[in-house]
Amino acid sequence: MKNLIFLAFIGPLFLTGCKGKMENSPDPRSIAYNDRAVTMMRNYVDRDDIWPDSAALAQCHTRTDTVRMMMKNIVDSCQILIDSALLYSPDQYFYYAQKATFYACGAYYEEAFQWINKAIEIKDIPELRLGAGMFLQKMGKEKKAGVYYKQAISNYKTFDTLSRADMMNYTLALSLSGEKEKARRTIDSLVKDTLLKRHLLLLTENPQEVIDATIP
């Protein structure tokens, strides 16, 4: 089975429940709908026999293909649940990001990009721009992806302090934008934890592998 950690470094886009992810509490009904969607997708991807890798997905050209249709049905069902979450909490960027996440799970990158931009319209934070760039890169739009990576980098530079997740995202954005040497210097100067430093330095070696490993 493909290792679905989907953007594990990017907190708001991680396929998860929404408690603790938002500054203002969403409607409890939104939380319930979101959690149902997450459970549905996780239960599906945990079934090794029907989860294809991205190469297999790319070859699914017709709606009669069983695997493609099963994934489409799951994605559609998750989207209905997240739409219900948005009905009660339309101002929460997290749910727009979740819609992007679920579309990406089915390799619907254009839809994922559209919805992550809706999330950005509500809350412009660097991890969302990093995620948008990664979706674009999956679509083969490297030049446009680079614009989003640089925007994420600029945003991170305004932070007084970087959390562990911020540091991972920041160095990944630097590496994806072609600034690998700057990413390494940043890691050397800011990261004191030996294990984390080693992990981050590995990420800078081949950032494309990070995208391929975290997005279906």
Q: What is the pLDDT of residue 144?
A: 97
Domain with residue 179: its CATH number is 1.25.40
Same domain, 82 and 139: no
Q: How many CA atoms lie within 13 A of 15 on its CB side?
A: 25
Question: What's the domain count of the chain?
Answer: 2
Same domain, 32 and 49: yes
Same domain, 172 and 84: no
Same domain, 155 and 141: yes
Q: What is the distance between the alpha carbons of residues 90 and 83, in angstroms, rounded to a whole number? A: 9
Q: What is the distance between the alpha carbons of residues 119 and 210, in angstroms, rounded to a whole number? A: 23
Q: What is the pTM of this model?
A: 0.81
Same domain, 128 and 65: no
Query: Which structural domain range is residue 57 located in?
Result: 1-123
How many whole angstroms from its chain centre is CA 142? 17
Task: Flag the least confident range among 2-11, 103-112, 184-193, 194-203.
Answer: 2-11
Q: pLDDT digit string (tens) for 89-123?
A: 999 999 999 999 999 988 999 999 999 999 999 99
Given a cut of 70, is residue 23 above it in pLDDT?
no
Q: What is the distance between the alpha carbons of residues 119 and 117, in angstroms, rounded to a whole number? A: 5
